[in-house]
Amino acid sequence: MSGVKCTNNHWIKKTCVFLTAIMLLVCTGCGNSAYDMPYDPDSVISGFNVISRQNSKAAHTFAEELCVVTDNVTNDETVDMTQAEAAILFGLNDCEVLYAKNAHKQLHPASLTKVMTALVALKYGSIDQVLTATDAVTITESGAQLIGLRPGDSMTLNQALHVLLLYSANDVAMLIAENVGGSTEHFVELMNQEAQELGATNTHFMNPHGLTQEEHYTTAYDLYLIFNEALKYEKFNEIIQMSSYETTYSNSEGEVITLSIRNSNLFLRGDYKAPENITVIGGKTGTTNAARSCLMLLAKDAQGASYIAIILKAETRDLVYESMIDLLEEIQN
């Protein structure tokens, strides 16, 4: 043992043996007793994974300022969420959970997927890089939101992100994936890698646009983690606050195509009004037959405090906005 020098003196030898035994007990612990960890790092609930990362010295800075929820936090007297499958309302300034219903239930996200698409594009792409369309932009699914891109058409990533987040164009999602990821498959790998790194462990993506596909799912809580990360990018914040956007891009023949779009978010259009003293900053919409109507928002109160609100699988578009107004009213209660 280092630090303990024994001599031939009989008494000192006994002392050395005693000290050695004590030090072994200190180093090895007390017997075979098992101690339960307060949180399971392998839990399927993303909130547990976030907590375990918060408590881990190896990743001390991860998620120090994130909201954590593992159960429902509801007020049925003031919030009617009977027509939606899942919903959350989190205060970002103080990490407060104001409302949570089925926060960790795996559901189809529809075009809320595109927030992750934008996040990966901003992280791995260059805002001024020119994207050229391949055959991947040809989407034939009935009802899919498109701007009509054709192979050979080109625009910058900056333009594409505006169209992706405001108009929710699925062909533009494929344009971004092919060019930033080198292939759609690799881009989707980056999406799933990013989800895992953020602690969004109940999430799995199969495409960059959110059209219904088996094994493409997420949760309200995981979408909060993804949206919260995307908000760290100035360009993302800038885009989601816009009510409309106009631009031009080139087709395969070099002709100039003019594009004028409006934000799909009806709060930003003025069709719906947030509760008094609450301002909707921006967000993302999503609708498919499987996902129904979904809505994600960044909002602020009169004091400037920020909130993230998400509703998944509301039965209709009107109901998702009406339910969101109810949810936002919780900020002032």
Give the span between the Cα atoms of 67 and 51, in whole angstroms. Answer: 10
Residue tagged active-site, from 111, 264, 293, 323: 111
- 260 a catalytic residue: no
For tokens 């547990």, name the residue.
48
Q: CA nearest 327: which of 245, 248, 267?
A: 267
Catalytic residue flag (residue 306): no
| From 46, 52, 101, 114, active-site residue | 114
Quote the CA–CA distance of 86 and 314 in Å, as a whole number.
Answer: 8
Q: How is residue 205 written in tokens?
A: 């993506």
Q: Tokens standing for 86?
A: 């899942």
Continuous segment of H or E residues that includes residue 279: strand 279-288
Which residue out of 168, 264, 293, 323 is catalytically annotated? 168
C-alpha span between 255 and 264 (Å, rounded): 27
Q: Catalytic annotation on 111? A: yes
Query: Which tokens is 230 given?
Result: 């995307």
What is the DSSP code string of 172-192?
HHHHHHHHHHSSHHHHHHHHH
User: Cβ-count burial of 29 within 10 angstroms (0-12 exposed, 13-18 middle, 19+ buried)?
Assistant: exposed
Give CA–CA dist 85/293, Å, rounded: 10
Please tell me whether residue 311 adopts helix, strand or coil conformation: strand
CA end-to-end span of the chain: 64
Among all residues, which ones are annotated catalytic?
A: 111, 114, 168
